[in-house]
Structure 1
Amino acid sequence: MANFYSLLALLGVILTLAPAISAQSGQIRIMALGDSITGSPGCWRALLWQKLQNAGITNTKFVGSLPGQGCGFEYDGANEGHGGYTATGIVSRRDLVGWLSSASPDVVMMHLGTNDVWSNLSPSEILAAYSTMVDWMRESKKTMKILVAQIIPMRPSNCAECYDRVVALNKAIPAWAASKSTAESPIVVVDCWAGFDPSNDTGDGVHPNSLGNEKLANSWYEPLVTAIRG
């Protein structure tokens, strides 16, 4: 009889803990959205995932149609970082609609606009594309958490004006984000620009090298942790 009551007590403890256990085991689905800076191979994502693991933040699932690439260790690397893609092109082809439908993210972290800048598109054109993508994200999930980068600086050898064009885009992003953000689906601006030196942190004036990948991982870490825990 004593064993029977002990079992009942144990069952009561398990039932009490069940909601907490369930909440802890629920995965947050994260889509990294961008161009080759995000996906080719985008090893800052591998370092970011590693930082989350080291902090004990393991309730994440990175999602997207592209697999992770070799970054020296195994990591959760699915993403939507498409080399050569522009924000405006993603919108004109409606690429993101399908990606969202397939991946069902809870959080989108977007570093996008480098190729638009390179193509000499204006900040207003790029931000209009951002707005359309945000609308699609919210149609996919009304409580989508959206992290948008002020993108890294660039000094490619064949585009002397690109550095200042990035400055102009990044300057416009905070006001755009504030106007588009909602309580239900907040937009957080992530400063990937500050402290990033294209001379030292890229191999070609555009794509991060190992130093640049570390800086990008560090830039994303705190905003992403807040989104995961929020």
Structure 2
Amino acid sequence: MRFLVAATAVACLAGMGIAIATPKVEEGVKTVKIMPLGDSITGAPGCWRALLWKKLQDAEITNTDFVGSLRGGNCGFDYDSENEGHAGFKATSIAAKKQLPPWLQKAHPDIVMMHLGTNDVWRNISPKNTIKAFSILVKQMRKNNPNMVILVAQITPMNPRGCKTCSKVAEQLNSAIAKWAPTKSTRKSPITVVDCFTGFDAAKDTRDGVHPNKAGNKKLANCWFKPLSAAIKHVSPPACILETRKQTPRRHLSER
């Protein structure tokens, strides 16, 4: 679903002489395609995505098109729900099975916002191997779009029953993500680490030690909002048109 921008004015350089510039934001700027990529935390119902979409709308960042082969569940209001949040999927499997390229080929996103690794932690896959999978996924993203803007989440805390090591390994993965991202980020295709771990309490903000509840959805929407807003503006800067109006030059005292 596409939405028309209703952007705010940006600063423009003033004209010189008898003409001065007035800033005006061009309507109909580039629609930015955004792919939420992840597992069941991202997928249905994935109501943090609904809250995030609403925050963007409220901030008048409306030139967005969320893309993916899946649609989110009922979150209480209509929103752009398309995503690639596949329940049970691991980063390592998505990379090994080359599942991402067809999704990218169909959607052609400008931005990928990725919250992956939770199921890898659950299945006792080492952070080292998960990070290797991340590198493969980044390579696949850039093959589809050399200018891909990539947002990678430090995953939310885990404390599920039946997985005594999950909490510790999730922290280890997040530490590895913070070290890995700068080594893969480029000026053409930047990678931004999004901290969705700090301030999130697995006991209070999830319904089962993993999946976010109402409070958790709000925190996830908040953690994504600023990085995604910046990424959207990076892909499609607000357009500024210089309009001029005549101004009567001031006479110097010596001319009177």
TM-score normalised to structure 1 length: 0.90
**Among 132, 137, 141, which residue is 2:141 paired with?**
137
**Among 142, 162, 184, which residue is 1:180 paired with?**
184
- Matched residue type, 1:74: D
**Structure 2 residue 44 is the aligned partner of structure 1 residue 37:** no
CA offset at residue 175 of structure 1?
1.2
Q: Name stretches of at least 5 consecutive residues in structure 2 with no aligned partner.
A: 1-24, 235-256
For CA contacts below 8 A with separation 6 or more, give which structure has more relative contact order. Answer: 2
Cα distance in 2, alignment partners of residues 21 and 50 from structure 1? 22
- Matched residue type, 1:93: K
Moved >2 Å (runs of 4+): none
8 Å contact kept, 2:105–2:144 = yes
**Structure 2 residue 62 is the aligned partner of structure 1 residue 58:** yes
CA offset at residue 174 of structure 1?
1.2
Q: Deviations over 1:13-42 (max 9, x none)?
A: xxxxxxx646x4320000000000000211
Cα distance in 1, alignment partners of residues 162 and 192 from structure 2? 32
Percent of paired sites with the same residue: 57
**Structure 2 residue 169 is the aligned partner of structure 1 residue 165:** yes
- Matched residue type, 1:27: T
Q: Deviations over 1:140-191 (max 9, x none)?
A: 1000000000000010011011000001000111110010000000000000
> Over the residues paired in the alignment, what is the CA RMSD in angstroms?
1.2
**Secondary structure, in 3 states, of the residue corresponding to 2:204?**
helix
Cα distance in 2, alignment partners of residues 86 and 68 from structure 1? 19
- Matched residue type, 1:102: K
**Among 59, 74, 79, which residue is 1:70 paired with?**
74
Q: Deviations over 1:21-71 (max 9, x none)?
A: 46x432000000000000021100000000000011100000000012111
Q: Deviations over 1:65-103 (max 9, x none)?
A: 001211110000100000000001101211100000000
- Matched residue type, 2:144: S
**Structure 2 residue 125 is the aligned partner of structure 1 residue 121:** yes
8 Å contact kept, 1:68–1:75 = no
Cα distance in 2, alignment partners of residues 191 and 209 from structure 1? 18
8 Å contact kept, 1:127–1:173 = yes
Q: What's the counterpart of residue 200 of structure 1?
A: 204
Q: What's the counterpart of residue 89 of structure 2?
A: 85
- Matched residue type, 2:140: W
**Structure 2 residue 107 is the aligned partner of structure 1 residue 100:** no
- Matched residue type, 1:92: A
Q: What's the counterpart of residue 238 of structure 2?
A: none
Q: What's the counterpart of residue 237 of structure 2?
A: none
Cα distance in 2, alignment partners of residues 44 and 223 from structure 1? 15
Cα distance in 1, alignment partners of residues 205 and 26 from structure 2? 42
| Greater percentage in strand | 2
8 Å contact kept, 2:44–2:72 = no
Cα distance in 1, alignment partners of residues 221 and 71 from structure 2? 18
- Matched residue type, 1:178: P
Query: Matched residue pairs, number?
Result: 211
| Greater percentage in helix | 1
- Matched residue type, 1:76: D
Q: What's the counterpart of residue 17 of structure 2?
A: none
Q: Name stretches of at least 5 consecutive residues in structure 1 with no aligned partner.
A: 1-19
**Structure 2 residue 194 is the aligned partner of structure 1 residue 190:** yes
TM-score normalised to structure 2 length: 0.81
- Matched residue type, 2:146: K
Cα distance in 2, alignment partners of residues 28 and 85 from structure 1? 26
